[in-house]
Structure 1
Amino acid sequence: MTHPPMTPDLYAHIFRNTRTIAVVGLSPKPERDSHHVAQYLQTQGFRIVPVNPAVHEVLGEKSWPSLTEAAQHHAIDLVDVFRDSAAVPPIADEAIAIGAKTLWLQLGVRHDAALAEAQAAGLAVVQDRCTLVEHQRLKAAAQQRAPQE
């Protein structure tokens, strides 16, 4: 199955329709990419829901052991995955089951079959891209288009 092209319009649509982001594999360690990206997204107004069974709290938010448990307390729009590619299929299944709008696999994370399944279930899908980088690109492009005063 072919995935829709990853374009600025797709990213803009995703971010415009996202309020709450479950970050699967969010580390409490500030030097980790997952922590840095989630902290950035939090400063941009997104609600971050950590999903990591090994910790109790990250970035001032309660951490949940699974997407399913997190979804019992939060309406999750986007599932942002910081896990090995091999771990993606059950995460994709949970994202579908909880009614997430988007499944986003971070840089270096790829699983074509799981993404095809999520897309067939109606989710927007992105893989091997960073939410922080794409959000910053959109912001920069919007600033360039804004009328100069």
Structure 2
Amino acid sequence: MRYGADATIRHLLADTETWAVVGLSANTGRTAYSIADYLRRNGKRVVPVHPSAPTIAGERGYASLSDIPFPVDVVDVFVRSELAGPVVDEAVKIGAGSVWLQLGVRDEAAAARAEEAGLAVVMDTCPAMEAPRLGLSWSR
């Protein structure tokens, strides 16, 4: 079940620029790759975060969030639920503005920690589902 108010989701989709996508690799068959492409096509800077630190669509990748040398608006989490907590904690540590846990990724305790630290949180949904649901004029 989706977690996050419509106003929060709309804000993250409409008013942010830099998205760090944790779990984004060069594997074009993975959902993270197609959603990262969707975000890019709709004006977002997408920064890959993966242990292999791949360069994707001309954007240098980083092995961890802590390695990114510039501010991140949204940390988009494409890891299994049991691995999401440490990623959320790292997002808090780097001062990210928000975390978005993708469809099927849930960690209530991590979401609470992020909110307590002042981050906006969206969980268990996907930008490609939410933009059309909220009537945003994003391209598919």
Task: Tell me the number of residue pairs that the alignment of Structure 1 and Structure 2 aligns.
Answer: 135
Which structure 1 segments of 5+ residues have no match? 144-149
Distance 1:107 1:12 in 2: 17
- Please tell me whether Structure 1 or Structure 2 has the larger radius of gyration of its CA atoms: 1
Choose which of 74, 83, 86 in structure 2 pairs with 1:87.
83
Asked whether the 8 Å contact 2:24–2:78 carries over to 1, the reply is yes
| AA matched with 1:82 | F
Q: What is the RMSD of the two structures over their aligned residues, measured on CA atoms? A: 1.5
Cα deviations by residue, 1:84-131 (Å, 9 ceiling, x for unpaired): 111111111110111111111001100000010000000010111112
Q: In percent, how many aligned pairs have the same letter? A: 43
For 1:62-101, list aligned pairs within 5 A. Answer: 62-70=60-68, 72=69, 74-101=70-97
- Secondary structure of the residue aligned to 2:124 is coil
1:17 Cα offset (Å): 2.8
Asked whether the 8 Å contact 1:28–1:55 carries over to 2, the reply is no
Distance 2:136 2:58 in 1: 30
- Secondary structure of the residue aligned to 2:43 is coil
Choose which of 25, 34, 37 in structure 1 pairs with 2:35.
37
Deviating 4+ runs (over 3 angstroms) = none
- Secondary structure of the residue aligned to 1:58 is coil
- Secondary structure of the residue aligned to 1:95 is helix
Distance 1:90 1:142 in 2: 31
Which residue matches 1:119? 115
Distance 2:47 2:19 in 1: 6
Which residue matches 2:55? 57
Distance 2:23 2:136 in 1: 30
Which structure 2 segments of 5+ residues have no match? none
| AA matched with 1:108 | G
TM-score, normalising length from structure 1? 0.84
